[in-house]
A and B are shown apart, each in its own frame.
Chain A
Amino acid sequence: MLPAPDTQIGRKREGVSTVNLNHPLAANHREAGETMKKLQYLFMTLAVLCFAAPAFAQAGTAGPVNLVPIGAGVGMAIAAGLCGLGQGRATASACEALARNPGARAGIQLLLVLGLAFIESLTLFTLVIVFAKVKI
């Protein structure tokens, strides 16, 4: 005999919404006041933190801004990011090739390590230039 419909485990009742009515942003009059108060406190704290911004201003002019460290940082960041992209593509290709043909593991591993070393060395050239030009 089939079990009665009311005793089936996990059956959803028809016509019942699955949205959680206790969501903090729901227009639910019981919770709205408390949520608004919490948000108010949060925004007031953030606004007060912005009052401290003038502390970062230079006390008087201290000459032209030294752009060499900034350039070094940005250059190194670009080099490292692009290296990450390149190595990611190389690794992805190697994984896919290995998945298609597990018997060719030795050759694929060889080419992968070689390719990764070449790509990494380009970023390392940038690092060497940074160390040569930025007087630490």
Chain B
Amino acid sequence: MHEPFWITNLLNHAFAGPVDGLLNLVGVHPDNPARPINDTFALEVLVAFCLIVFFAIVRMSLSVESPGALQQAAEMIHEFTGDQGEQIIGHGAERFQAFVTCVFVFILANNLLGLIPGVVTPTSAPVVPLGVACCTFLYYNFYGLKEQGIGGYIKHHAGPIWWLWILLFPIEVVSNLARVMSLTIRLYANMFASDMVTLVFFSMVPVVIPAVFLGLHAFVSLIQAYVFMLLAMIYMSIAVSHEH
């Protein structure tokens, strides 16, 4: 059991009481009431806080004539997700761009945290990708319902031929629920497997070989963050598409 991170100690010191109260409200009793927050959650909170600070700084120092480095980085990210959104969702992709950018940047930052030796990858605990997948699920269903109305959304799931709804409706419902599972497990298993592979090779040849697998971890992190964002956009485009 490694010694806890300073961020975990800080958060537990500051917020142990309220977090305990909140958890007890929902019926969860932590093992150690003085430390209800564990490492992965503390790291997630740190990443989210740093991202909020980054966005706030960029927003406050926006300038057309002399963009700073942070603004150029933010513009790169914005252009990237905007391009992808236009390619996949077509027109009207701007309203979803904020959410998918957050998903992309959050997952990317969490994945890359695992490259630092000694720091656990937050996304290698199953609950973290589950959280992001649940948020994505709620988001695209909300927009699907809003765009097509409740009746329209259900009809959308019944498929193009109306009298096949008995067959198609269960398939669509199960497939929608399976999206949550597949998003979660894809991200979790990729990160967990990269960590595991690095550890295995570290235990065999501690000198140069693990660096190769850390490189693999970095590459896989990028790809998995991109794929998560891509899938979120595809589900969004399916949910709000009007196929008349």
Binding between chains A and B: yes
* A interface residues (Cβ-Cβ under 8 A, vs B): 106-107, 110, 113-114, 117, 120-121, 124-125, 127-128, 131
Least distance between A79 CB and chain B CB atoms (Å): 12
Chain A residues near B88: list those with CB within 8 A: 110
Our pick among A106, A110, A114, A127 for the contact of B189 (Cβ within 8 Å) is A127
Bound-state CA distance A106–B80 (Å) is: 12
* B interface residues (Cβ-Cβ under 8 A, vs A): 84, 87-88, 182, 185-186, 188-190, 192-193, 223-224, 226-227, 230-231, 234
Least distance between B199 CB and chain A CB atoms (Å): 12
Cross-chain contact B87 with A107 (CB below 8 angstroms) = yes
Chain A residues near B190: list those with CB within 8 A: 120, 124
Chain A residues near B193: list those with CB within 8 A: 124, 127
Bound-state CA distance A125–B192 (Å) is: 12
Known: A106-B87, A107-B87, A110-B87. A117 touches B223 (CB 8 A): yes
Q: Shortest 9 CB-CB distances between A and B: which pairs? A: A124-B189, A117-B227, A121-B186, A128-B189, A127-B189, A128-B185, A121-B182, A114-B230, A125-B185
Bound-state CA distance A125–B182 (Å) is: 8
Residue of B nearest to A114 (CB): B230
Cross-chain contact B185 with A110 (CB below 8 angstroms) = no
